[in-house]
Structure 1
């Protein structure tokens, strides 16, 4: 092992990013006073702002951001725009010129066996490299709906202010630019869009430029006639329904637009630097739990908050760590979207000789992308109220692990009350169907399970997925599509009853669509929360978290767009508190 070097950082408001317990994802924390940094050994520089030797790390910065991912690069860009602050980004991964899903650019995370899913284990995908998960995701560009974000305000308790749809919309607009579809696309595919929901941010989103298939348009027409289905004026309007959605790509070369291209590449600011191949191992605290620094080095550690003494005290004691702040919510409240990869159909009477395609399309010549985002009243009009009532009546403590505290149980109960209401709304997305060929994947975007909550095979979450499969069956075989005599081959007609479907779901459901959130939730401490309304960690000073971990509940959409908006919102708060607004340069 090569030697390390130590540096003293004396300026106030030092900012770092750390790894979330359980998720190995990254968070942003704001520190103050003196910071002790153990620098990583050199890596090969590719961009002007990279420092490639330990002795090139300055002896002081205004902000140190640990984790050059979606949030980290966004905040780093904003904090250096006005030229008044110096920023160092510490990134565990490396620069990758090739983007997209690849295990070499992701953390190696595998879940423990899940008893409720036949003891299967699952891969949890999180990006590792400059750009974070925006480097490797599917580029699908979706927002949640108005009630889904308004739930965050409710879950903030009495002190909640602007964590709702209206409070986040300006930051969606600040983060990204929508390149509109062509006139031909609007005419041929009925693409609706409204630029009032978009702005002029660095992240470029565009509709794919290839042709949509005739089969996709057949599915569009059929889905548009489903009872309760609507067609929103824009995919980002905060409303569920049937719409074409853009991808995170430019509209010239149709290349991926992500945190690195938007908030690092082509910037030549001397006050914005990065060192890669390095990971923060712990946070250093001074008196009265004021965060004063970090230690980082080459190699990998995990669970930085817990290693720093912030988390469940009994669990920390088992690991031989003195608890500085007893926060049982650290690492709890884990959530992810669940999905079934494929419900298989073949046309009995093919509408044409096209070969069906599946999945989102990005890049030059790719097909435009169509989705049906629907609530339970659309999925199961006869049962959604029954499911909501059954869920509301459950005792949270009956399904939570025995080590959960009264505060954590109450926090889940508050989420439960909100979800029971959301289940009855037609503007809360429980199922996402990407439409291109017969059948396809189905997703439950509002799972009821949280972290290590034990799944009950008769719980409403299982019922929801069963009802989603039944919706697919009705959609493919009735109405406009009946003429094509679609034949189901997966799960197959022999899986007929609800009990049969439940067993099939348990064997085929994947509980991670690589959208993990919630383990450092923005909720009151009395409800098991970890950060307050300004994303400061309870029981500490000058310590903030900014990432998907703060989301108290999932939204019914991919999470990347929301991560950008949260980063923009908090960067503005940081600058406002410091007395300096941002400016372009």
Structure 2
């Protein structure tokens, strides 16, 4: 059956049962609470992950509106188990990384990637969000700017005060105006660990002496610098705190349902108004079901699957849709473009000749009895700190032909949008403020230290994973047009994973950035005049034998990973003329009753892990939707 005739499929209902907590045979008439799925809801949310559950909670809390979240995964114990609670996706070969392919690990579980990530909670800088606002057309002080998003960061997470027993010489300070407090027990908790790794003290004392390194009063105040990382941990148990524990478990609202093990094949439109979704049981072999949305369909399927669903629904680049045999409903070139993720090289490491001393205040520290994890130390710096050639890199970025570094045949709006991004990126690079964009982020105290975690023993060395936190390269996430056209049904086509092309290092300036990062780290830790000179460090990787740019580039292309599992950008909140997909209210251009609320709307990847920003976006999205309720908007 040609895909464009998918509406001819039978919409029969299945009559099988599923338990609330275990994977099993899906009944499309039964929700995860054992109740019956209704034919229609006020709001149908596609995705039961970080953003989907957050918005589902907020829209259902008044009791006035019915909400259904549909999730491909199941309710399972949290924690990363590749292939079990992540999607099984392999990327397209990366030309810039010696044609290697990579696993695309995004959450396939109730709670989404917040259920499987490393728990790290970080924010970008003020420039990160001010640029979001500018790309959306509302200026640097618009609704998506730092100052206007801060209240949603505060609402989305509850701060747990740091352990007062952590020694004072670690300068552990918190400014509570940047954090939510006393939100009750139904919240995502942000907390510092109760102990400090053994190498934190000398690294803190040495790094803060570096020229241009800021030491912010609080790691969430929108500034770069030397800071401590928070984690999403429940202080009562030490367990993961995430979207499911905060926004689903224990709510038991009659107007809030969750359908698991279910694939959304497409959005159902009447004209260009979204009125529901078509679903099939996970695996694509069961009968299809249409669930109506009386007010809105809300996409929260994530950066990889939200563009896929739009494209299968006829919303996306017209040329791609025609090749796939899909009738074009809205020609929206930006759907699937602008794909970004953080890249990193593994690893840049050093061995101490004279191990740094461990301060007595740390040796005498007693680990907390509840076992809550350690507090890790990180560094985030602007390009002006990393490279003396920062202004040259900015000028090269501005003069570079945008079309030459984007995918071939990119739509003119995509090229125009990338040019706008480059202009804002260059401006931030040249500003060199503590609130500008970062171009290196590293954890100075990694999850493992050499050779021991014993606070009485100084680690033998230091292993770093320098992250290119604002890469210039852009990738794509597109349906496989050939396989899609050959599929026998829409349900079968929707089970074909999209082609994920990171295109890492496709912009040659990214190589320049990483080379600068390596040279910076060498200078920091091995310079005879640097703050760590007394410890006589020897470089292990990439090794002092690699000195020229060409030698380092070869090593970088072999050692780079295109993802730190922070995929964003494929349905960007930008002006439509710039290749944007959603407007400032997160409505999909050219449609009615359709909104996107996940990380795919990020026009630029933040200089931080992404989950905290996703929670903030979701909280703001809920308010935008509620504002439309008051204004009487809808179908």
Matches of 1:253 and 1:466, distance apart in 2 = 43
* Larger CA deviation: 538-547 vs 244-253: 244-253
Deviation at 1:455, TM superposition (A): 6.7
Query: Residue by residue, what CA displacement relative to the aligned partner does 1:100-140 show, whole Å, maximum 9, x if unpaired?
Result: 35331101121111112111111222111100000000111
What secondary structure, in the 3-state scheme, does the structure 1 residue paired with 2:120 have?
coil
Deviation at 1:472, TM superposition (A): 1.0
Matches of 1:576 and 1:41, distance apart in 2 = 39
Inter-CA distance 68–456: structure 2 relative to 1 (3 Å threshold): closer
* Larger CA deviation: 335-344 vs 132-141: 335-344
Inter-CA distance 39–575: structure 2 relative to 1 (3 Å threshold): farther
Structure 1 position 294 matched with structure 2 position 300: no
Matches of 1:98 and 1:555, distance apart in 2 = 25
Query: Residue by residue, what CA displacement relative to the aligned partner does 1:7-26 show, whole Å, maximum 9, x if unpaired?
Result: xxxxxxxxxxxxxxxxxxxx
What secondary structure, in the 3-state scheme, does the structure 2 residue paired with 1:557 have?
coil
1:206 counterpart residue number = 191
Structure 1 position 375 matched with structure 2 position 382: yes
What secondary structure, in the 3-state scheme, does the structure 2 residue paired with 1:388 have?
helix
What secondary structure, in the 3-state scheme, does the structure 1 residue paired with 2:232 have?
coil
Query: Residue by residue, what CA displacement relative to the aligned partner does 1:478-500 show, whole Å, maximum 9, x if unpaired?
Result: 32211111111111111112221
Inter-CA distance 217–101: structure 2 relative to 1 (3 Å threshold): farther
1:474 counterpart residue number = 523
2:90 counterpart residue number = 110
2:400 counterpart residue number = 394
Inter-CA distance 172–55: structure 2 relative to 1 (3 Å threshold): closer
Conserved? CA contact 1:73–1:264, under 8 Å:
yes
1:242 counterpart residue number = 226
Q: What does residue range 131-210 of structure 1 map to in structure 2 within 5 Å?
A: 131-157=111-137, 161-185=142-166, 187-200=168-181, 201=183, 202-210=187-195
Conserved? CA contact 1:37–1:293, under 8 Å:
no
Inter-CA distance 37–310: structure 2 relative to 1 (3 Å threshold): farther
Deviation at 1:203, TM superposition (A): 0.7
Deviation at 1:41, TM superposition (A): 4.8
Please, which runs of 5 or more residues in structure 2 have no aligned partner?
Answer: 1-10, 23-28, 285-304, 360-367, 450-461, 477-501
Matches of 2:258 and 2:504, distance apart in 1 = 43
Give the structure-2-normalised TM-score.
0.80
Conserved? CA contact 1:531–1:550, under 8 Å:
yes
Query: Residue by residue, what CA displacement relative to the aligned partner does 1:66-101 show, whole Å, maximum 9, x if unpaired?
Result: 211000000000011111111121111001124235
Inter-CA distance 569–458: structure 2 relative to 1 (3 Å threshold): closer
Conserved? CA contact 2:19–2:34, under 8 Å:
no
Matches of 1:167 and 1:353, distance apart in 2 = 42
Query: Residue by residue, what CA displacement relative to the aligned partner does 1:296-334 show, whole Å, maximum 9, x if unpaired?
Result: 111257621111111111111111111011111111110
Inter-CA distance 431–509: structure 2 relative to 1 (3 Å threshold): same
1:12 counterpart residue number = none
Deviation at 1:39, TM superposition (A): 6.7
Structure 1 position 501 matched with structure 2 position 552: yes
Conserved? CA contact 2:444–2:464, under 8 Å:
yes
1:553 counterpart residue number = 604
Query: Residue by residue, what CA displacement relative to the aligned partner does 1:319-370 show, whole Å, maximum 9, x if unpaired?
Result: 111101111111111000000122121111223599xxxxxx9x82532111
Deviation at 1:267, TM superposition (A): 1.1
Conserved? CA contact 1:346–1:487, under 8 Å:
yes
Q: What does residue range 91-490 of structure 1 map to in structure 2 within 5 Å?
A: 91-100=71-80, 102-157=82-137, 161-185=142-166, 187-200=168-181, 201=183, 202-213=187-198, 215-287=199-271, 289-300=272-283, 303-352=308-357, 364-380=371-387, 382-424=388-430, 425-426=432-433, 427-436=436-445, 438-451=462-475, 459-478=508-527, 479-490=530-541
The alignment yields a C-alpha RMSD, in angstroms, of: 2.4
Q: 73, 85, 108: which one pairs with 2:53?
A: 73
Inter-CA distance 393–306: structure 2 relative to 1 (3 Å threshold): same
Conserved? CA contact 2:232–2:241, under 8 Å:
yes
Matches of 1:373 and 1:101, distance apart in 2 = 29
Matches of 1:57 and 1:320, distance apart in 2 = 32
Deviation at 1:221, TM superposition (A): 0.6
Conserved? CA contact 1:149–1:165, under 8 Å:
yes
Inter-CA distance 50–371: structure 2 relative to 1 (3 Å threshold): farther
Conserved? CA contact 1:39–1:296, under 8 Å:
no
Conserved? CA contact 2:44–2:276, under 8 Å:
no
Query: Residue by residue, what CA displacement relative to the aligned partner does 1:122-171 show, whole Å, maximum 9, x if unpaired?
Result: 12221111000000001111000001110011111258831110121010
What secondary structure, in the 3-state scheme, does the structure 2 residue paired with 1:439 have?
strand
Conserved? CA contact 2:429–2:437, under 8 Å:
yes
2:41 counterpart residue number = 61
2:491 counterpart residue number = none
Matches of 1:189 and 1:212, distance apart in 2 = 11
Matches of 2:126 and 2:15, distance apart in 1 = 44
Conserved? CA contact 1:39–1:57, under 8 Å:
no
* Larger CA deviation: 118-127 vs 133-142: 118-127
Inter-CA distance 83–411: structure 2 relative to 1 (3 Å threshold): same
Please, which runs of 5 or more residues in structure 1 have no aligned partner?
Answer: 1-35, 355-360
Conserved? CA contact 1:40–1:296, under 8 Å:
no
